[in-house]
Structure 1
Amino acid sequence: MQFVYLAQLVFMIIGPLVRLVFKVIGIGFITYTGSNLLLDQVRSYITGRFGAGSIVIQQILGLANIDVCINMFLAAVTTRMVLSGLDKISDRRRKQVWNPPGRDYIDA
């Protein structure tokens, strides 16, 4: 009879834990897939617009390494999304670095 109580205790503990893990994996997968699709669409749209210009404009953009700049920008967007997601997972709020004058400190 004690085995039944022990089994019920284990299922009461493991059940919500398994549901939480599946919920986190599901939300993370959907978010990753959606953001990856969105960034691929943005990248293809921008590179598609490069081809719409004249040859001289394309050469100037190539000399200015605009394609590298766009990749760096999209990588920064991805990094920002990952870091904000990590902060939300750990349930930490970002500390405010800058305070406006006249608030919580003495003006010098």
Structure 2
Amino acid sequence: MPLLPVIAMFLASIVSGLVFRALASLGFAYMSYVGIGQLIDSVDGYIKGLFSAIPPSVAAVLGMAKIDVAINIVIAAVIARLLLAGMDKVTGTITGLALLNKAGG
């Protein structure tokens, strides 16, 4: 049996698997990015809508207490957590933070 066709079939099977895995990872990453972006935008709009309904004196107190900064920090933390979870799912690796979370720490 000639060796060249066997090697070609072997390499074709490896390359097709790698290409499929890379395209699947890119598709998952894009869909996650778009979905999370829309979710965060809708939550941000909802929160801003709630703040527009409060009286000006309460808004001034909340502004001095920097509640808007606290809300932005919470939203950024949620985005970072989703990003780390998505990286774990796509790459199959366990990051340091994910390892602490899974160990109950």
TM range (shorter): 0.7 to 0.9
Provide the residue aligned with 2:62 in structure 1: 61
Cα displacement (A) at 1:38: 0.3
Indicate the structure with greater helix content.
Answer: 2
Q: Distance in 2 between matches of 1:18 and 1:69?
A: 43
Provide the residue aligned with 2:74 in structure 1: 73
Deviations 1:25-59 (Å, cap 9, x if unpaired)? 11111111101110111011111211111111111
Q: Distance in 2 between matches of 1:64 and 1:46?
A: 17
The unaligned stretches of length 5 or more in structure 2 are none
1:96 aligns with 2:98: no
Provide the residue aligned with 1:83 in structure 2: 84
Of 35-44 and 77-86, more deviation after overlay is shown by: 77-86
Of 43-52 and 3-12, more deviation after overlay is shown by: 3-12
| Residues 13-92 of structure 1 aligned to structure 2 (within 5 Å) | 13-88=14-89, 89-92=91-94
TM-score of the superposition, structure 1-length normalised? Answer: 0.77
Letter in 2 for 1:96: G
Letter in 2 for 1:33: V
Percent of pairs identical after alignment?
A: 32
TM-score of the superposition, structure 2-length normalised? Answer: 0.79
The unaligned stretches of length 5 or more in structure 1 are 98-108
Q: CA RMSD in A?
A: 1.8
Aligned length: 97
